[in-house]
Amino acid sequence: MVKKRTTRPAGTIKLQYYRSTINRPAAHKRIVRSLGFTRLNQIIERPDTPAIRGMVAKVPHLVRILQEK
C-alpha cells in the first residue's frame, strides 16, 4: 500500500505588508490582520502551509513574498 503525503515539508515564508487596506473590502482587511500584520511595511515570518499561501493569494496586491525557505 502506498502512503500519501498530506503535508508539505515544514518551511517558512517571509511576508511584507506593503500597501494599505484603506478603501479595500472588509474581507481583505480581515485577511491581512489574520496573517498577523499590524503596521505598514512590517515583515513577518510564517510557516509555509497551504492555508497561509491561500491567504496570501487572496491579497497579492497588499502583501509581498520576500523569501521562501
Per-residue pLDDT, 33: 97
Beta-bridge partner residues of 58: none
Q: C-alpha distances in angstroms, 9 versus 5, 12, 17, 49, 60?
A: 10, 10, 25, 9, 23
In the structure, what pLDDT confidence band is assigned to residue 65 with cuts at 50, 70 and 90?
very high
Position 40 pLDDT exceeds 70: yes
Cα 10 from Cα 12, distance rounded (Å): 7
Pick 69 or 12 by higher pLDDT.
Answer: 12
Over residues 39-53, the mean pLDDT reads 96
Q: C-alpha distances in angstroms, 57 versus 1, 16, 31?
A: 35, 13, 10
Over residues 31-44, the mean pLDDT reads 97
| Domains of the chain and any CATH numbers | 12-68 (3.30.1390.20)
Over residues 34-52, the mean pLDDT reads 96
